[in-house]
Amino acid sequence: MTQKLTCLIVDDEADIRELLVMTLERMDIDTFSASGLQEAKQLLKQRQYALCLTDMQMPDGSGLDLVNYISEFHAGLPVAVITAHASADNAVSALKAGAFDYLSKPISLKQLRPVIEFAIKLTTQNNSSKTSTIEMLGESESMGYVRSMITKLARSQAPVYISGESGSGKELAAKLIHKNSSRAEGAFVAVNCGAIPENLMESEFFGYKKGSFTGASQDKEGLFQAASGGTLFLDEVADLPLPMQVKLLRAIQEKKVRMVGGTSEESVDVRIISATHKNLTEMMDAGLFRQDLYYRLNVIQLKIPALRERQEDIPLLANMLLIKVCASHNTEIPKIDNEALAYLAKLQFPGNVRELENMLERALAMSDGKTITIDDLGNENKYSTAQSLERDFKTTFSDQATALNLSDYLEDVERTAIISALNKTNNNKTAAAKLLGVSFRTLRYRLTKLNLVKDGDADLDARIANDLS
């Protein structure tokens, strides 16, 4: 006979306790109630629980005190805290302390049920210990820490901010957090915030109602609705314009969204994971990123190390990535000789794992199919991109500095880089922006500033330039 799950409810308000008891009993969960911190501690000593729901304010302590106590003496027990309406600071503090999730008063049954269900799934996962982070390769100490953090973060509902350079594996980390969480059966929805035109952002994120604007022929759900029950990954979140940052903050705090053209809000159950290669602290100081949104997103931070910071992992990564490349091309897997591996291990890789994978794909095409040698890696790779740029800059600048002032010279370098990127992408601005490592809007602005716009684009580019000035 399967033992019934039990929940500990801690709240000094009798009516709140009664509401929670009724809801949980309908879900076939036994409940035990406490009106304060000390009573809760006594009940925790008497039996095991599948989850704990606690108020933040109690006569003899706080919900944070209980969260800290459970983290120390009953590790693995999911705790959800109940906070006063619009008490965002308390919710963030509780999540940082180790709470599984939070609920805002007045408690909505639509929000309560998913929290309970995810907590139960989490308890079941803890008992089966099925967490897997094998895809995050590396034997270095820094990658061992990343894998351990992913395991911990998978047991929480707290927002996670992943920082790291482009190509370092931020999206992979986000996917692993989702895959090993109680939301694994839900959708993982990834969006590049810099790739959505500003005038379409609200409808993309929150959806729209039929007839809300020209072309809205039917209701369409947004990214929040698509990710409900799962995880929404906001890549390059630094590219969100300020007006959208305000709307995103409200959606995260209230766990509700309003479709464009809609008259009422609807509850959404989404875990937010965000990432960017930019420095959000510097952007906050410059007034480009809202401080309140930053602290909402950055409840827990996970930093992915650059590949050059874990060079001992490069040989292992190179061999595993080569297997992946060969599988995609349906070819036999050649061996990477020792000289080539030693050479790869010394490179700086400013493009990180993505650059290493691209290099191996080129080397595979150049090899005899049996062995990849240092020559197959190409002469252009004898220096890292950063080293090449530095070398070329010094050489070129010494020749041209006398003919141009610094501002003109830098604009000339920028113009050349943009034209090169557009040529490589067949004039696809979105792809060119990605190649250059900037947002689409930034590229359009630079095209206008450097007089590189084509006929027909001038009006649009002028508006973008005016908006960004």
Question: Which range among 343-352, 382-391, 453-462 has the greatest average pLDDT?
Answer: 343-352
On whether both 241 and 164 belong to a single domain, the answer is yes
Give the pLDDT confidence score for residue 430 in this predicted structure: 84
Give the pLDDT confidence score for residue 468 in this predicted structure: 41
On whether both 227 and 247 belong to a single domain, the answer is yes
Q: Confirm whether 351 is domain-assigned.
A: yes
Mean pLDDT, the chain, as a whole number? 84
On whether both 373 and 431 belong to a single domain, the answer is no
For the cut 70, the answer to whether the pLDDT of residue 441 exceeds it is: yes
7-21, 59-73, 97-111: which range is least confident on average? 97-111
Q: Confirm whether 391 is domain-assigned.
A: no
Q: Confirm whether 134 is domain-assigned.
A: no
For the cut 70, the answer to whether the pLDDT of residue 304 exceeds it is: yes
Assign residue 109 the CATH number of its domain: 3.40.50.2300
Q: Confirm whether 392 is domain-assigned.
A: no
180-189 residue pLDDT tens: 988 999 999 9
Q: Confirm whether 29 is domain-assigned.
A: yes
On whether both 155 and 272 belong to a single domain, the answer is yes
Q: Confirm whether 377 is domain-assigned.
A: yes
On whether both 174 and 53 belong to a single domain, the answer is no
On whether both 283 and 321 belong to a single domain, the answer is no
> Can you give the pTM of this predicted structure?
0.71
On whether both 290 and 149 belong to a single domain, the answer is yes
Q: Confirm whether 389 is domain-assigned.
A: no
Q: Confirm whether 434 is domain-assigned.
A: yes
For the cut 50, the answer to whether the pLDDT of residue 80 exceeds it is: yes
On whether both 299 and 317 belong to a single domain, the answer is no
For the cut 90, the answer to whether the pLDDT of residue 123 exceeds it is: no
Q: Which two tokens stand for residue 180?
A: 């090993």
Assign residue 443 the CATH number of its domain: 1.10.10
Domain that holds residue 104: 6-128
**Domain count within the chain:** 4
Counting every residue, how long is the chain?
469
On whether both 171 and 263 belong to a single domain, the answer is yes
On whether both 74 and 156 belong to a single domain, the answer is no
